[in-house]
Amino acid sequence: MTAASGSDTVSVVERTRPIAAGGVIVGAHFLSRTAAFVLGEDAIVLAPPDGEPRRIAAHDGAILATAADGARIVSGGDDGKLVATDANCETRVVASDPKHRWIDHVALGPDGAVAWSAGKTAYVQAQESNSQSNKQSNREPRALEAPSSVGGLAFFPKGFRLAIAHYNGATLWFPNAAGAAPEKLEWKGSHLGATVSPDGRFLVTTMQEPMLHGWRLVDRQHMRMSGYAARVMSLSWSVGGHWLATAGASQLVLWPFQTKDGPMGKTARLLTPSGHRIDVVACHPRTDVVAAGYDNGLVLLVRIEDGAEILAKKPGEAPVTALAWSSDGRLLAWGTESGEAGIINLG
């Protein structure tokens, strides 16, 4: 039993607007105040604050990965397409894999850059711009072959630089530095996801083993972050990048990144112990609060400082698969594996 099932827990469940998404939900984002629920196949459902949800056909098949920057969602599918969807319900094919390979990782970077991968090939494309001064060549995607299938992609917060996770390490790539060899970071094992800290000092990857691996980039010091019950499928940086919140355990695991040493030699903060596993995490964009989605359908809002909990969704039949905050932190969208979805208005 979790502490949240006690009757004295504060609840915001009654502020939920249920959304009929009509399919398995695999991701959620916000485009301004419009919630977007990514379905397992074919479509993204956009729910504007004052209007009926609309189903946007984005792919013909499975939607394998999405990323959003507030203005658009880019999605990769098993149809070999990379599609951009905006809040006006317009979709546009950004790229098509010539061999119809699965596009199974995507990332959005600063200044509208987009990255995606198919098999071992990672691609980046700088912002598409109407500006006449923007050279045509800058809009052509650049490609880099990774040593194995790409496991994850993450842009650095500044500059046009991409981190690519793969088997036995990660590659750091400046696509505009023509002729410069990409930098290799080595660590044995299969790296399946990547995130760069908001200050650009750390790269953290999720591994096939139930653990994270981190590099302090200035001196390539390694950080091993272990103790999980399952492969970590969800990571989120708290406001200011002070904490890295992680799923994959029956407690909310937060790694401290307040200092230049990051979590080296420190233990993680563990909050909300329960008998169920956290599958998804999403940090509030303005305050030190984490939304945690459990494999029994529960969603809790957890204050990092003291572990205080607010109930956001009661346990249900299916695991929580998606959580997203609006950029002002007033709206929280959640979705589950069985297609239940809701938007909580925290006012």
Partner 1 sequence: MAEQSSPEKIPVTVLTGYLGAGKTTLLNRILSEPHGKKYAVIVNEFGEIGIDNDLVVGADEEVFEMNNGCICCTVRGDLVRILDGLMRRKGKFDAIIVETTGLADPAPVAQTFFIDENIGRKTKLDAVVTVADAKWLNERLKDAPEAKNQIAFADVILINKTDLVSPDELSDVEARIRGINPYAKLHKTQRAEVPLDAVLGRNAFDLDRILDLEPDFLGGDDHDHHHDHDHDHGHNHEHDHAHAHVHGGLKHYHDEEMQSIALHTDKPLDPDKFFPWVQDLVQKEGPNILRCKGILAFKDDDQRFVFQGVHMILDGDHQRPWKADEKRDSRIVFIGRNLPGKMITEGFESCIAK
Interface residues with partner 1 (CB under 8 A) are: 24, 26, 40-41, 61-64, 78, 101-102, 104, 119, 148-149, 167, 187-190, 192, 207-210, 229-231, 233
Give the C-alpha separation, 3 to 6, whole Å. 6
Q: What's the half-sphere exposure (Cβ side, CA atoms, 13 Å) at 205? A: 29
Instruction: Kindly tell me which of 16 and 321 has the beta carbon lying closer to partner 1.
Output: 321
Give the C-alpha separation, 163 to 178, whole Å. 17
Q: 307: alpha, beta or left, given left = phi > 0 and alpha = psi -120 to 50?
A: left
Q: Give me the least distance between CB of 271 and partner 1, in Å please.
A: 22
Instruction: Kindly tell me which of 241 and 248 has the beta carbon lying closer to partner 1.
Output: 248
Instruction: Kindly tell me which of 27 and 53 has the beta carbon lying closer to partner 1.
Output: 27
Q: Give me the least distance between CB of 26 and partner 1, in Å please.
A: 6
Give the C-alpha separation, 327 to 333, whole Å. 12
Instruction: Kindly tell me which of 175 and 335 has the beta carbon lying closer to partner 1.
Output: 335
Q: Give me the least distance between CB of 324 and partner 1, in Å please.
A: 18
Distance of CA 6 to the CA centre of its chain: 31
Instruction: Kindly tell me which of 9 and 121 has the beta carbon lying closer to partner 1.
Output: 121
Q: Give me the least distance between CB of 278 and partner 1, in Å please.
A: 13
Which 3-state string (H, E, C) describes 289-342? Answer: EEEEEECCCCEEEEECCCCCEEEEECCCCCCEEEEEECCCCCEEEEEECCCEEE
Q: Give me the least distance between CB of 318 and partner 1, in Å please.
A: 11
Instruction: Kindly tell me which of 176 and 208 has the beta carbon lying closer to partner 1.
Output: 208
Q: Give me the least distance between CB of 78 and partner 1, in Å please.
A: 6
